Amino acid sequence: MLGGKVEIEQALIDTPEFQQLKEVIENTLWHNNERVYDHALFVLKNLKQIIEEVPETVQVKLKEKTGERSRQELLSIATILHDISKTECIVTNENGTTSCPDHEETGAGKAVEILKRFGLSEAELDYISEIIRSHALTDAIFTPDNKISEEAHKELKNRFLNSIYIELMLLTFADAMSEYTVVSNPEEYALKMDFYRREVKSL
């Protein structure tokens, strides 16, 4: 069993499953011919930066433990593995664009199988898999015409407030920071950045 936070992070990055993400290239409005491997590490870097700047009340909550590890440690693990099943799920369309249907659900299961090799408890595995399984649900908050759906936001918050709402906000904030929409759709990118900055301050 690996104990240290940095130790398990690097061990996960070194797994064959994660290394295979170097061969998976996404081409969408959100990823401009980007390796999933690079994207995942970029999101992890963004996450650490965000956590350094969140209110102290949030940092205290992230120190709470589920099993033997803190919520922050489990969130970092989930972040590394949040797109782990795109190796199997990626579809290349005739026009060269890609999609990864159901990668959240399949990724949750694949992450559990990987993490069993590292001695995590059932509670820790359940926590991580729920974050991965749910991480795309935040997409419903943002409408196609670049507005916030207050109804979708309220529904998401009510569903996860007493469990992984903080984790979902931090992971998807870090994920959104890495999006190619900063170039392909600046209005969408600005909307997301404004939403997440405000929401993180209120957690």
Each residue of 86-143: pLDDT tens digit?
999 999 999 999 999 999 999 999 999 999 999 999 999 999 999 999 999 999 999 9
Each residue of 30-45: pLDDT tens digit?
998 999 999 999 999 9
Give residue 56's pLDDT band: very low, low, confident or very high (50, 70, 90). Answer: very high
Give the domain ranges of the chain.
5-202
Cα(169)–Cα(186) distance, integer angstroms: 20
Instruction: Find out whether 21 and 36 touch, Cβ atoms under 8 Å.
Output: yes
From the number of C-beta atoms within 10 Å of its C-beta (0-12, 13-18, 19+), residue 109 rates as middle
Q: Say yes or no to pLDDT of 4 above 70.
A: no
Rounded average pLDDT over 175-199 = 95
| pTM for this entry | 0.94
Which residues are CB-contacts of 108 (< 8 A; sequence separation ≥ 6)?
129, 130, 132, 133
5-202: CATH topology: Hypothetical protein af1432 (1.10.3210)
Which residues are CB-contacts of 150 (< 8 A; sequence separation ≥ 6)?
none
CA 192 vs. chain centroid, Å, equals 15
Cα(178)–Cα(62) distance, integer angstroms: 22
Each residue of 62-95: pLDDT tens digit?
999 999 999 999 999 999 999 999 999 999 999 9
